[in-house]
Amino acid sequence: MNARCRIAAAAMVFAATVYPVSAQNKAADGFKAYDGLAVGRQMLAEDNPGDLWVERGQRLFNDKRGPKNTSLERCDLGQGPGVVKGVFATLPRYFADTNKVQDLESRLLTCMVELQGFKREDIVRDRFGTLDKDSELEALVSYVGAASNGLRMNVRLNHAQEREMYKAGEYAFYRRSGPLDFACVTCHGESGKRIRLQELPNMTKPEEMREVIATGWPAYRGTHSTVRTMQHRLYDCFWQMRLADLGFASDLSVAITTYLNYSANGGEIKLPGVRR
């Protein structure tokens, strides 16, 4: 980035910091933010089972593991080797070593393969926990996510590839296909809508997106008895859309997350979330 761009970027950061204040005023003006999960959240507010995943994730992060018997303390999630604080707030972002924009899951995958020597296909196979087998990735994502609690979402689009991903994500959000003609916007384009009794956040509204992203995924899902990540949430929506399985850490999944997370900028992070 040249000097002039850096000044401009600083100005944009400033703009992002003042943004939420006015948005909060708007909420006070009578806008009812997405709050469909209030009941579940209230029930579990005192005792979020997701905290167990955070603890397990912390151990998995710090223990020497894998064929190379190393911890993840050299894993650079965007804030420097081993740093977890603030990571969730700024992902997805561009990483020079992989020359890719990566979200939290795909970046952890890179570290586990490159630093610890795990096999990529093994981690992908076990990416979603089952009743018989917990997922290490779900625990690691919980730990890293919670390490940003209290900070605000602050996804930057400084790199050309980040802007490319953002635009591709927006394109995908509106792209209709499949036997039911669904796009994301079909179910997430208006406030106050429900599929059966499941409330659908309006993802074209930053007020609602801050709730979805900053206090959402990783989330302890009561119906699954485990923590699920954003990759799983998207996978689930693709299933509902009658499309083939969304590839784990695929560029498409990262593009959509870039689009969604950027629109949640300013939202105060409180993870893991609690969901139905």
Give the residue among 193, 211, 209, 219 at the shortest CA–CA distance from 258: 209
Residue 185, Cα to own-chain centre: how many angstroms?
Answer: 18
Rounded least distance, CB 28 to ligand HEC, Å: 21
When CB distances are held under 5 to 8 angstroms depending on the partner's kind, the choice from another protein, ligand HEC, none that residue 39 binds is none
C-alpha 254/C-alpha 52 separation (Å) is 27
Nearest approach in angstroms of CB 101 to another protein is: 11
Q: Which amino acid is at 87?
A: V
Query: What percent of the residues of the chain are helix, what percent strand, and what percent coil, each to the nearest 5?
Result: 45, 10, 40
| 3-state secondary structure (DSSP) of residue 85 | coil
- Report the nearest approach of another protein to the CB of residue 238 (Å): 8
CB atoms within 10 A of CB 152: 18
Under the binding rule (CB under 6 A), the answer on residue 104 touching ligand HEC is no
Which of another protein, ligand HEC, none is residue 275 near (CB under 5 to 8 Å by kind)?
ligand HEC
State how far the alpha carbon of 25 is from the alpha carbons of 19, 21, 31, 137, 141, in Å.
10, 6, 9, 38, 32
Q: Which of the choices ligand HEC, another protein, none does residue 147 contact, using the CB cut-off of 5 to 8 A by kind? A: none
Residues in the chain: 276
Size of the site for another protein (CB under 8 A): 55
Q: In the range 188-247, which residues lie near another protein by CB under 8 A?
A: 189, 192-198, 200, 204, 239-240, 242-247
Please, which residue, 114 or 251, has the CB nearer to ligand HEC? 251
Q: Which of residues 10-29 bind another protein (CB under 8 A)?
A: 11-12
Which H or E element spans position 111?
Answer: helix 104-114
Asked if residue 157 binds another protein (CB under 8 A), the reply is: yes
In the residue annotation, 237 being an active-site residue is answered as yes
The 10 Å Cβ neighbour count of residue 174 is 12
Write out the binding residues for ligand HEC, residues 204-233 only, by CB under 6 A: 212, 216, 233
**What x/- string results for residues 172 through 201 when contact with ligand HEC is judged by CB under 6 A?**
----------x-x-xxx------x--xxxx
C-alpha distances in angstroms, 86 versus 82, 174, 251? 12, 30, 23
Q: Please report whether residue 36 would count as binding ligand HEC according to CB under 6 A.
A: yes
Q: Which residues bind another protein (CB under 8 A)?
A: 1, 4-5, 7-9, 11-12, 157-158, 163-164, 166-168, 170-183, 185-187, 189, 192-198, 200, 204, 239-240, 242-247, 250-253, 255
Active site residues: 237
